[in-house]
Amino acid sequence: MSTDDKSKLTTSWGAPVGDNQNSQTAGARGPTLIQDVHLLEKLAHFNRERVPERVVHAKGAGAHGYFEVTQDLTAFTKASFLSEVGKQTPLFVRFSTVAGENGSSDTVRDPRGFAVKFYTDEGNYDLVGNNTPVFFIRDAIKFPDFIHTQKRHPQTHLKNPNAVWDFWSLSPESLHQVTILMSDRGIPATLRHMHGFGSHTFKWVNAEGQASWVKYHFKTEQGVQNLAPSVAAQLAADNPDYHTEDLFEAIKKGDFPAWKLCVQIMPLEDANTYRFDPFDVTKVWSQKDYPLIELGRMVLNRNPENYFAEVEQATFSPGTFVPGIEASPDKMLQGRLFAYGDAHRYRVGANHQALPINRPRSEVNTYQRDGQMRADDNGGGSVYYEPNSAGGPSETPAYKPAAFEVSGSADSVVYDHHDHYTQPGDLYRLLSEDERERLVQTIVGAMKPVEQDAIKLRQIGHFYKADPEYGTRVAAGLGLSIPE
């Protein structure tokens, strides 16, 4: 059999298969023989078809596309893929819900993951954000506890509104994200009809080594559209994969979704005096203070060929930076710099970055060797340590991260700004009367199953502090009065 003969079924070790329908037995009615090694291999591989599901963001849909620079911002960053107007960079995007399992419904009320992998000419850059500009918590040390409340009760295996609202009411920094989640934008109409955000503050560094703080906004060119809860519930029953299907079908028929990528840029020194801590991911930077500046355009124009190989095995990490883009001291980001890579090493393996979907398009020269599922030549016989006198790859000092001055004592310190209420209040006040009414109805519906009034009253207090009308309307909907 020639190696390119695609018509002959083979075993996984390449030998032609004689019978793929009937297993070998001892006599026509006898037991199955262990010598049918093709059968053994087939069953054994089937048992191993799943990699561990992501603990969060398990249900996802992905697509390939490109990014094109539309405005020169080289005054702020030396990132090579942003170096000239018109420059295009291939990319892969994975959208996801957060709390549900791999088979769960797309049309639930949940933030959506919005993860972009830019295959730049100086390595991969991952922008791993959400469809909301803020997050529920602002210190990674709270993340496992927070996600426990979003997942299932350890005894009943049911979702648990008591835990959800207990945690939120005891973590008032969540109020801003809770308000966005409970608003109309909590259930996007499709993955194409939502914005994306880097959410965290990042650092940009230009060719002169000067740094600025930056926030990213992907603005949907399709317009923001949302689903009414009743429509979303019906879709969840009729077509749990509605968003996945919509994205695939749109791209298949050539209706390529696109987003404008904008940034807000803050001079480094403003971080010391801005009225909110600009590294606190529960806060936005007002666009009145730091207007959006257009940077480029992202277009999704190619569906994956294989879901598992591309969407499931895609590994994103907010720590996957390229020269010119660095971390900020945002405590949630700092935790994620560790957590994402760690999740992928556990879930996909130590060599996850060498898989075709994750492999940089630029040259990779490391001294990493071996590890499970090393599928390339493992560096062959080349030098495998550094420093060496064999002329192996060596560091380029010009690419050192920008120095950043710090001061103070090593300690567990609370964020220095405790205003959890102004920005959720601003959001409430920018909603129309109809939007406010739906927001309150949604919150009331979500809080009704909470068993303890003490939790409800604590949370009503937070809504009230954001805007007295907001708190009063939620309280009325729950048949409670405003606590002292």
**Which one of residues 224, 236, 293, 476 is an interface residue with ligand NDP (CB under 6 A)?**
224
Are 109 and 91 contacting, i.e. CB atoms less than 8 angstroms apart? no
Q: What is the DSSP letter of 204?
A: E
Going from the C-alpha of 338 to that of each of 303, 342, 406, the distances in angstroms are 30, 6, 21
Is residue 340 part of an annotated ligand binding site?
Answer: yes
- Tell me if 234 contacts ligand NDP by CB under 6 A: no
Among 59, 94, 185, 243, binds ligand NDP (CB under 6 A): 185
Q: What is the dihedral of CA 88, 94, 97, 98, to 10 degrees?
A: -100
Quick count: other Cβ atoms within 10 Å of Cβ 374? 15
Q: Among 58, 427, 466, 475, which residue interacts with ligand NDP (rule: CB under 6 A)?
A: 427
- Contacts with ligand NDP in 133-172 (CB under 6 A)? 133
Range 204-223, binding ligand NDP (CB under 6 A)? 219
Closest CA to 199 of 225, 177, 181: 177
User: Which residue, 173 or 312, is less far from ligand NDP as judged by CB?
Assistant: 173
Specify the residue, 232 or 311, whose C-beta has the smaller distance to ligand NDP.
Answer: 232
Structure tokens given for 72: 């020169």
* Least separation in angstroms between CB 202 and ligand NDP: 14
- 98 versus 311: smaller Cβ distance to ligand NDP: 98
Residue 288 touching ligand NDP (CB under 6 A) = yes
Burial classification of residue 286, based on how many CB atoms lie within 10 Å of its CB (0-12 exposed, 13-18 middle, 19 or more buried): middle
Site membership for ligand NDP, residue 201 (CB under 6 A): no
User: Which parts of 24-70 fold into alpha helices (H)?
Assistant: 37-47
Per CB under 6 A, the segment of 115-123, 278-286, 295-303, 373-381 that binds ligand NDP is: 278-286
Q: Which of residues 83 and 183 has its CB atom nearest to ligand NDP in the complex?
A: 183
How far is the C-alpha of 406 from the C-alpha of 413, rounded, in Å?
14
Q: Is 426 among the residues that bind ligand NDP (CB under 6 A)? A: yes
Q: What does DSSP say about strands 293-302 and 211-220: parallel, antiparallel, or unpaired?
A: unpaired
Give the nearest distance from C-beta 168 to ligand NDP in angstroms. Answer: 17
Cβ distance to ligand NDP smaller for residue 221 or 426: 426
Binding flag, residue 199, ligand NDP (CB under 6 A): no
Contacts 24+ apart (CB under 8 A), 79-82: 79/120, 79/122, 79/125, 79/204, 79/322, 79/323, 79/324, 79/325, 80/120, 80/121, 80/122, 80/322, 80/323, 80/324, 81/118, 81/120, 81/121, 81/122, 81/125, 81/322, 82/295, 82/296, 82/324
Identity of the residue, 245 or 426, whose beta carbon is nearer to ligand NDP in the bound complex: 426
Strands (E), 188-255: 196-197, 202-205, 211-220
Choices 59-67, 228-236, 401-409, 425-433 (CB under 6 A): range interacting with ligand NDP: 425-433
Q: Cβ 289 to ligand NDP, closest distance in Å?
A: 8
Q: Is 282 in the site for ligand NDP (CB under 6 A)?
A: no
User: Phi and psi of 371, rounded to 5°?
Assistant: 95, 160
State in angstroms the smallest separation of the CB of 474 from ligand NDP: 17
Count of residues that bind ligand NDP according to CB under 6 A:
17
User: Which residues belong to the annotated binding site for heme?
Assistant: 340
Q: Enumerate binding residues for ligand NDP (CB under 6 A).
A: 133, 180, 183, 185, 219, 224, 284-288, 423, 426-427, 430-431, 435
